[in-house]
Structure 1
């Protein structure tokens, strides 16, 4: 069986030797044996595990613990339990597809609200009432207001009051936040919607402005989830191949 030194492994994978050592410290690859002089000895298993690591971390999907699920899968694979790693990867893929459903559903909900298909209550709400009615935390309401997503009127005593239009706007924000759109993307959509109610919601959310310096991953949520879906399928195939080869 052929063996490799750290520098050789790094060259094959296309990473720095320190990155190989970092992956070992993070338990993303099996712990290599060492020669009498202390040099690490890597095998074909390490090469394939490192390829898996690079493949698995190509896509940055952070919402709802998906990134942690990827890390868990890689670490389990590093222990040699490929069946368990495949099971985790399949669960990850399942959750990715649910996130895709949530994202598409959020846009449908927004479209229904904008078209008037959803009828709102005629009540005027206090903050606690709107929090309970929409199942939105008080902290979330404060955060959305601070980030300019909503401007709430106040009574003379200083208490905030939420009108029917405010509730409609909050439902839009809530739907998109549940689908993990960034506050920046939502604000962009709301601003464009105020200028043109016939705006293509999906296009606005999925297309960041050219002059935006920092683009959150969620600005292209649907696109990134589809890419992650394809990547997850490749990861599962890779794990199956490693299982067949090394077990």
Structure 2
């Protein structure tokens, strides 16, 4: 006999408020349950698995650059019992997480290059569209960062902006801090601090207390969060595999 659960019971099992269970049904995170003659919902083991899956997928604290959108897409596929499709999308999700990790590591290296006074090839320049393509952001995003004082970009005699290698290093840092959910004002403060400390040793900058925190620790925090979210994605794949091979009754 298939075990049935009331709304309060499934809420207690998952550790959420009963209204959260109803909300997950409304936004299609879980399958629509059957109802008794009195109108009360009847949940099954399937709904418990779907609730657990949704909570796991939303566990990540960053989820920028389309990551949260992808996570919600996967949750809804699970809610529709399209488990094989959800597995495919979860693998894509993991690829996106790995790409963001690569970006964060590049930002840390960019800080090292700036603080270490590494020789920069100023002969290499980029147009705005070329820079946007390199960073995988839109031209509007670059314009917004400049308008908020995060960057000062040189211009040619004809008024067109021209970017150099140092600009690329700094923009990699800005991009990663945005992914780490830093506000534009916080990034401005961190970037100003970086500009002030280019003559200092990196170890001194990293270990010097600041009003908030330094860029290296911000990027490290992002890397840790990405790694944790990637581990969650592995658990998501395991749950989906179990649902595919032996769907709950």
- TM-score computed with the length of structure 2 as normaliser: 0.76
Residue 138 of structure 1 and its aligned partner are, at CA, apart by 5.9
1:113 touches 1:168 (CA, 8 Å); kept in 2? no
Change (3 A) 1:26 1:219: farther
Change (3 A) 1:161 1:45: closer
Change (3 A) 1:219 1:104: closer
Runs of 5+ consecutive residues of structure 1 not aligned to the other structure: 124-128, 212-216
Matches within 5 A, 1:1-247: 1-112=2-113, 115-121=117-123, 131-132=128-129, 134-135=131-132, 139-151=140-152, 167=164, 169-179=166-176, 180=179, 182=182, 183-184=184-185, 186-197=187-198, 198-199=201-202, 209-210=211-212, 220-246=221-247
Change (3 A) 1:151 1:93: closer
Aligned counterparts of 1:246 and 1:132: Cα–Cα separation in 2: 49
SS of the aligned residue for 1:64 comes to coil
- The aligned length equals 231
Aligned counterparts of 2:83 and 2:32: Cα–Cα separation in 1: 16
Change (3 A) 1:68 1:6: same
Q: Deviations over 1:31-50 (max 9, x none)?
A: 10111111111001111111
1:82 touches 1:243 (CA, 8 Å); kept in 2? yes
Residue 208 of structure 1 and its aligned partner are, at CA, apart by 8.2
Residue 76 of structure 1 and its aligned partner are, at CA, apart by 1.0
SS of the aligned residue for 2:65 comes to helix
Aligned counterparts of 1:43 and 1:238: Cα–Cα separation in 2: 16
Aligned counterparts of 1:201 and 1:94: Cα–Cα separation in 2: 35
Greater relative contact order (Cα 8 A, min sep 6): structure 1 or 2?
2
Residue 28 of structure 1 and its aligned partner are, at CA, apart by 0.5
Change (3 A) 1:173 1:18: same
Runs of 5+ consecutive residues of structure 2 not aligned to the other structure: none
Change (3 A) 1:202 1:239: farther
Residue 146 of structure 1 and its aligned partner are, at CA, apart by 3.3
RMSD value, Cα = 3.6
- TM-score computed with the length of structure 1 as normaliser: 0.76
